[in-house]
């Protein structure tokens, strides 16, 4: 893994522990949750058959493999700080019979990318975790040829995302919420401010910046899941682990019951469906 001393150390630790294992075990559920956003991302990215693509924060390789199929005469490099996720991504590509793809454990903020090689960089919710986002996007720009494209999705503010707000507020009736950090701190909502995103990308050397709102449902626990399955899925997430870390068993049980009751209002034939909101960002080097 390419790192420099202390850079993104907290995120590297986090994504190489329980959270990574949860994503690997529940890979299909996460992919179903995020599929509407991945579909929009790849439609706008419009990957060409001969293009060289960089997938940032590629996780277990869903968008990387899909991108490689589109770039059938090109190739895709998937990069992520999680060794567990990269191991699964390699397995996934092999299982899919996709050979024009490779994966590296690395931090895109400091990874020594080959300069001017890629036509496009994409990311499905993988660019919100940098300690220095300007430096990170400037480093990503190095990998792009002049005129190369950047396309990613990132979450809008917490208040616009029912999928985390509803269960979080339900749990908060029984337990104090963990510290969510300062606005803009590395985490899911670090790029929630569109003006800040535009400023970061401009300072990192990107132009022709476009930011479009995307609102799509999020199926908690995947397609066809029950309320109980959705609540159990959420219990294994990093947010829940922090919430329950020092709580008494009876308080945890009450919180889970409250979450289950709140999610019941969102149960559909497709699964437990709550609103989500993201930015779809495009730019050029």
Report whether pLDDT(3) > 70.
Answer: no
CA distance 85 to 154: 19
DSSP-based three-state secondary structure for 284 = strand
Q: Note the CATH architecture for domain 9-157+184-217+274-284.
A: 3-Layer(aba) Sandwich (3.40)
pLDDT at 2: 52
pLDDT at 5: 52
205 φψ region: left (φ > 0), alpha (ψ -120 to 50), beta (else): left
- Give me the chain's average pLDDT, please: 95
- Model confidence over 29-52: pLDDT tens digits? 999 999 999 999 999 999 999 999
The CB density around residue 73, as the number of other CB atoms within 10 Å, is 9
Report whether pLDDT(1) > 60.
Answer: no
Tell me whether residue 228 is exposed, middle or buried, using C-beta atoms within 10 angstroms of its C-beta: 0 to 12, 13 to 18, 19 or more.
middle
The CB density around residue 96, as the number of other CB atoms within 10 Å, is 14
CB 155 within 8 A of CB 214: no
- Model confidence over 58-81: pLDDT tens digits? 999 999 999 999 999 999 999 999
pLDDT at 6: 66
Q: Measured on CA atoms in the order 75, 24, 238, 4, is the torsion positive or negative?
A: negative
| Confidence grade of residue 284 (pLDDT, cut at 50, 70, 90) | very high
Report whether pLDDT(237) > 80.
Answer: yes
The CB density around residue 281, as the number of other CB atoms within 10 Å, is 24
Q: What is the mean pLDDT of residues 143-151?
A: 98
Closest CA to 185 of 11, 3, 6, 2: 11
DSSP-based three-state secondary structure for 269 = coil
Look up residue 54 and give its two tokens: 């960089």
Domain ranges of the chain: 9-157+184-217+274-284
Q: Determine what percent of the chain is predicted with pLDDT higher than 90.
A: 91
Of 178 and 277, the one with more pLDDT? 277
Q: What is the mean pLDDT of residues 232-259?
A: 93
| Confidence grade of residue 246 (pLDDT, cut at 50, 70, 90) | confident
pLDDT at 62: 98
| Confidence grade of residue 136 (pLDDT, cut at 50, 70, 90) | very high
Quote the strand ranges of the chain, DSSP E.
52-56, 75-80, 101-105, 118-124, 144-155, 207-220, 267-268, 271-284
CB 213 within 8 A of CB 193: no
CA distance 42 to 209: 17
């Amino acid at each position: 893994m390419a790192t420099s001393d202390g850079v993104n150390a907290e995120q590297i630790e986090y994504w190489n522990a329980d959270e990574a294992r949860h994503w690997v075990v529940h890979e299909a559920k996460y992919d179903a949750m995020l599929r509407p956003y991945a579909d929009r991302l790849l439609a706008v990215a419009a990957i060409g058959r001969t293009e060289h693509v960089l997938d940032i924060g590629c996780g277990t390789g869903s968008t990387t493999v899909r991108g490689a199929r589109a770039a059938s005469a090109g190739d895709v490099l998937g990069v992520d700080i999680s060794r567990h996720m990269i191991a699964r991504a390699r397995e996934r590509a092999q299982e899919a019979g996709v050979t024009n793809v490779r994966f590296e454990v690395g931090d895109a903020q400091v990874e020594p990318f080959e300069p001017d090689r890629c036509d496009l960089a994409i990311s499905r919710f993988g660019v919100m975790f940098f300690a220095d986002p300007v430096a990170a996007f400037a480093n990503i720009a190095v990998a792009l040829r002049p005129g190369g494209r950047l396309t990613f999705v990132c979450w809008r503010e917490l208040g616009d995302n029912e999928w985390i707000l509803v269960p979080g507020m339900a749990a908060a009736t029984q337990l104090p919420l963990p510290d969510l950090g300062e606005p803009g701190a590395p985490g899911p909502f670090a790029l929630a401010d569109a003006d800040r995103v535009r400023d970061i990308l401009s300072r990192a050397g990107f132009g022709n910046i476009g930011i479009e709102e995307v609102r799509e449902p999020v199926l908690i626990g995947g397609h066809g899941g029950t309320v109980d399955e959705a609540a159990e899925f959420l219990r294994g997430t990093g947010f829940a682990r922090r919430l329950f870390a020092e709580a008494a068993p009876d308080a945890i049980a009450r919180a889970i019951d409250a979450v289950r009751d709140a999610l019941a209002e969102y149960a559909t034939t497709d699964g437990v469906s709550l609103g989500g909101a993201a930015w779809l960002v495009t730019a050029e080097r």
